[in-house]
Amino acid sequence: MKMKSATFFVVMIAVSVLVVWGFIEGREELALEQQREEPVKVPLRVENDAGGPVVIFDAATQKRADLAVAAATPGTRHADIGALAVVLSPLGLIDLRSQYVEKAAQLDKAKSALHASRREYERLKALHGDDRNISDKVLQAAEVTLRNDEATVTTAQSAVDALRHSAAQQWGAVLTSAVIKNTLRFRRLSMQKDVLLRIAAPSGARLSMTLATVSVVRDDGRLRSAQLISRSPRADPHMQGPAFFYSAAATGLLPGTTLTTRLPIGPEETGAVIPESSVVWWQGKGWFYVQSAPDQFVRRELIGAIAISEGWFVPQLGAVSVVVRGVQTLLSEELRGQIQAGDED
């Protein structure tokens, strides 16, 4: 009996030791697991100075982030204003062409009849003068026909002239001439290979020049080049400012589409051009990063910039180096730095 009690006591001690050992091992394993699950803290790469946040990327970090920097291209542009560009339907020009063809045909017919009646009158007049081989009544009838045909030609010519003048008041002399002469420009517009744009400046705008080519901005942000046709003889009914006719390739542009562009006004401005890849959009504004030091990058707002085919013309931007690849990475790092700094506070 004593032997069994001793054995039981030893077993209980062994079990207790195992339980304690297991508890200790479990706590150590849990501590190690929690340590492994703790997020790795990335070093803060954002500093603040008087000019605002500065992102610090050393050479190695720039390489890992695939950052690229290039010098902004200096240039000059006229100060400009926003203008409205509306894609017009070609039906008005097509209708003008149809009316002109009809009235021109009537004029040609009247001229042919006049030519015939004049020759007949001259023939009968010669016969009448040759010992009165025809009667006075026959000659008088020929003269009446001649006078009627002359009046018909005058009326038909007046109708053609009135149509030209009316069209010129609506479309301008250049477009009217293109329709009347059935030029390549009109044919491309009528077949909708090109579209006709009316670009209008705001009321009271005084343009310093008229551009032979402008860039209009579509809803998707893409630029479309348009070529000047002529100044419009009428102000735009909505903008109430000077208006111009331009033509552009019809691809993706339907009649009634409204676009925007910019027209020159005032003196030239100096600045620099940055590529589209340098711009990142955040909080409804455009931003770009300037390299202020080999390892420092400062964000600047895209103020007063003009969209051009090469990217953006930024007025008063000097000879600086701008980030052309990896802009989103810098913005993300700057925002992460602000969040991390807030958490620490």
Q: Are 279 and 310 in contact (CB under 8 A)?
A: no
Token pair of 296 as six digits = 């420092």
Q: Can you say how many angstroms the Cα of residue 157 is from the centroid of all Cα atoms in its chain?
A: 44
At 277 the three-state DSSP class reads helix
* Beta strand pairing call for 311-315 and 306-308: antiparallel
Q: Given this model, what pLDDT does residue 344 score?
A: 54
Give the Cα separation of 164 and 52 in Å (integer): 63
* pLDDT in the model for residue 40: 46
The helix/strand/coil state of 232 is: coil
User: What's the predicted TM-score (pTM) here?
Assistant: 0.60
pLDDT value, residue 150: 95
Q: What is the residue extent of each domain of the chain?
A: 46-79+270-344, 82-88+195-261, 91-188
List, for the chain, all residue ranges whose pLDDT scores fall below the cut of 50: 40, 345
| Angle in degrees, 0-180, between the axes of helices 136-181 and 91-129, rounded to the nearest 10 | 160
Domain spanning 82-88+195-261 has what CATH number? Answer: 2.40.10
Please indicate whether the domains covering 46-79+270-344 and 82-88+195-261 agree at the CATH topology level: no
CATH topology classification for 46-79+270-344: 2.40.420
Predicted local confidence at residue 113, as pLDDT: 95
